[in-house]
């Protein structure tokens, strides 16, 4: 009786699996993934990618996950690079979301999210306003009064132009009684760069998701002004704008997209990997730690949501004068 070598045993096992499930299923059983983050390290997209990487590899759902950052305003360079580099390639995922929707509209980009394959919406995060710990602005009322006095003298630090941070700033100024199109918004290509400007007081107020500010508020480097969530929302680290009778609710969302021209089988395989991750206890633990809400949506439901979101964001940007025909 012959004894199989380790290599022969692995080959025999692979052949058996291929016979049972087909070679394409076997190839996707433990795929190698490449995550492209169209922004500098430190921001929300980067945090999302690093969390995906940690969960997928930690739970041995994939062999490896490589994260590549492509810094660019609104993610435009990264989107173009992903579209050109991952056509028909099921090993790539673009991490993106609300911010890119607005940036595409403002920049009249020839490359859009219509050129990639929607895989899944993953998370939602409430927008928050903060100031440096030593700022003279200590409340929503203080910020409203400063905007009413001169909207151009109140500088806002956040992510890319046209993104959720910019929209939040413009919407706040509009609701405070000023012209939202005149808001003094200073865009940054990454969360780390924006945080430095906010903490140092180089900008009057910072705007981003809760997760990017929470540890710095706890460390007494920043102070909450308000969180753009409905009054009574559970689990928040600070008061809402609604608690100060200021009506503004904005939630950022983030998700993943596959390359152009994927086959139905390739799209299904990518979706399964992401779906399995999103259902895992490890993912749930990460969401709880970061204050992210589970807003998972895939398939046609995500594609429909995305089409509706483009229309909604376009309407908001036109209303505050950030997009003009």
Contact 145/324 with Cβ under 8 angstroms? no
For tokens 């405070």, name the residue. 176
Residue 27: its pLDDT value, please?
Answer: 40
Q: Calculate ∠ Cα 162-73-208, nearest 5°.
A: 55
Alpha-carbon distance of 179 to 317, in angstroms, equals 13
Q: What confidence tens digit (pLDDT) does each residue in 302-323 have?
A: 999 999 999 988 988 887 778 8
Contacts of 298 (CB under 8 A, 6+ apart): 119, 120, 121, 271, 274, 275
Helix or strand holding residue 225 (H, E): strand 222-227
Residue 12: its pLDDT value, please?
Answer: 40
Q: What confidence tens digit (pLDDT) does each residue in 149-200 have?
A: 999 999 999 987 778 898 999 999 999 999 988 999 998 866 688 899 999 9
Domain ranges of the chain: 31-124+252-319, 126-251
Q: How confident is the model at residue 285 (pLDDT cuts 50, 70, 90)?
A: very high
- Least Cα distance to 129 among 67, 194, 50 occurs for 194
Helix or strand holding residue 104 (H, E): helix 98-107
Q: Calculate ∠ Cα 302-308-310, nearest 5°.
A: 105
**Would you state the structure tokens that stand for residue 291, as one six-digit string?**
């204050």
> What are the residues facing 124 on neighbouring strands?
253, 293
Q: How confident is the model at residue 29 (pLDDT cuts 50, 70, 90)?
A: low
Count of other CB atoms within 10 angstroms of residue 168 = 22
Class of domain 126-251: alpha beta
| CATH topology assigned to domain 31-124+252-319 | D-Maltodextrin-Binding Protein; domain 2 (3.40.190)
Termini Cα distance of the chain: 79
Say yes or no: do domains 31-124+252-319 and 126-251 share a fold: yes
Range 141-150 average pLDDT? 98
Percent of the chain past pLDDT 70, that is, above it, reads 90
**Would you state the structure tokens that stand for residue 64, as one six-digit string?**
């490896």
Residue 24: its pLDDT value, please?
Answer: 40
The beta-carbon contacts of 225-232 under 8 Å, at least 24 apart in sequence, are: 225/128, 225/129, 225/130, 225/131, 225/137, 225/139, 225/140, 225/143, 226/128, 226/129, 226/140, 227/126, 227/127, 227/128, 227/129, 228/126, 228/127, 228/128, 228/129, 228/168, 229/126
Contacts of 30 (CB under 8 A, 6+ apart): 60, 61, 62, 63
- Least Cα distance to 207 among 236, 255, 173 occurs for 173
């Amino acid at each position: 009786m012959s004894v199989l070598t380790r290599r022969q045993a692995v080959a025999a096992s692979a052949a058996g699996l291929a016979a049972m499930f087909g070679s394409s299923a076997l190839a996707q059983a433990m795929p190698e993934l490449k995550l492209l983050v169209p922004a500098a390290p430190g921001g929300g997209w980067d945090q999302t990618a690093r969390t995906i990487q940690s969960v997928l590899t930690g739970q041995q759902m994939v062999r490896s996950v490589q994260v590549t950052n492509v810094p660019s305003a609104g993610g435009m360079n990264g989107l173009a690079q992903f579209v050109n580099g991952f056509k028909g390639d099921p090993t790539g995922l673009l991490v993106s979301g609300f911010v890119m929707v607005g940036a595409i509209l403002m920049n009249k980009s020839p490359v859009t999210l219509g050129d990639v394959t929607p895989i899944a919406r993953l998370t939602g995060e409430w927008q928050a306003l903060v100031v440096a710990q030593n700022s003279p602005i200590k409340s929503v009322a203080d910020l409203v009064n400063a905007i009413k006095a001169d909207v151009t003298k109140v500088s806002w630090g956040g992510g890319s132009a046209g993104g959720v941070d910019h929209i939040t700033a413009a919407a706040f100024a509009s609701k405070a009684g000023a012209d939202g199109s005149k808001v003094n918004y200073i865009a940054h290509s990454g969360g780390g760069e924006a945080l430095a400007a906010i903490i140092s007081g180089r900008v009057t107020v910072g705007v981003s998701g809760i997760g990017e500010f929470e540890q710095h508020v706890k460390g007494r480097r920043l102070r909450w002004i308000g969180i753009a969530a409905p009054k009574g929302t559970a689990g928040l680290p600070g008061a809402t704008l609604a608690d100060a009778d200021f009506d503004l609710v904005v939630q950022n969302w983030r998700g993943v997209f596959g390359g152009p021209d994927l086959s139905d089988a390739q799209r299904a395989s990518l979706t399964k990997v992401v779906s399995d991750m999103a259902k895992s206890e490890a993912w749930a633990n990460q969401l709880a730690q970061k204050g992210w809400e589970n807003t998972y949506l895939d398939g046609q439901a995500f594609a429909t949501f995305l089409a509706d979101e483009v229309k909604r964001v376009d309407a908001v940007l036109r209303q505050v004068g950030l997009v003009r025909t």
